[in-house]
A = this chain, B = another copy of it.
Amino acid sequence: MQDVKEAVRIQMEDFSQDEEIRALRASSKRIGGIATFLGCARDFSEDREVTQLGFEAYGSMALAEMNRLRDEAIIRFGLLDARIVHRIGTIEAGGQIVFIAAGAEHRGPAFDACRWMIDELKQRVPIWKKEVSPQGDSWVTPHP
């Protein structure tokens, strides 16, 4: 199992769905359905052109929170396995930001868990996004 990466990661490098799904499937042959979510960098935001995104994390806390999120999802939805990968640093428009995968015996819990994890991640994980546009950079500060 030397080649299998951690189930929860924060990294600069891009990731491969094939690799993540292979690792997830290897964890159990009882998995009947895998739901995934991939967040991508769009090339616009509120009608302004965006050429790049920049992500910064409070690394140790973000990783711990993502691990907690995965553990909670596994118990709450009866998953067989789950994975969460978030990139930091600069990501070009069209690039991959975050990947979440939930594997369960049936598709219902897989979908529910995957959606719950991305919703919770946005609320709970200390990561911040900067939009880079021809008009300049700006950190995204969502309003309550």
Known contacts A17-B18, A21-B17, A107-B118: does B29 contact A39 (CB below 8 Å)? no
Interface residue? A36 (CB, 8 A): yes
Whether B42 and A94, one on each chain, are in contact in the complex, defined by CB atoms closer than 8 angstroms, is no
CA distance A32 to B18 in the complex (A): 20
Contact of A33 among B17, B18, B38 (CB under 8 A): B38
**Residue numbers in B under 8 Å from A35 (CB-CB):** 35-38, 114
Question: Which one of B43, B94, B107 lies within 8 Å of A37 (CB-CB)?
Answer: B107
Known: A94-B29, A115-B111. A21 touches B38 (CB 8 A): yes
CA distance A25 to B40 in the complex (A): 8
Q: A44 at interface (Cβ–Cβ under 8 A)?
A: yes
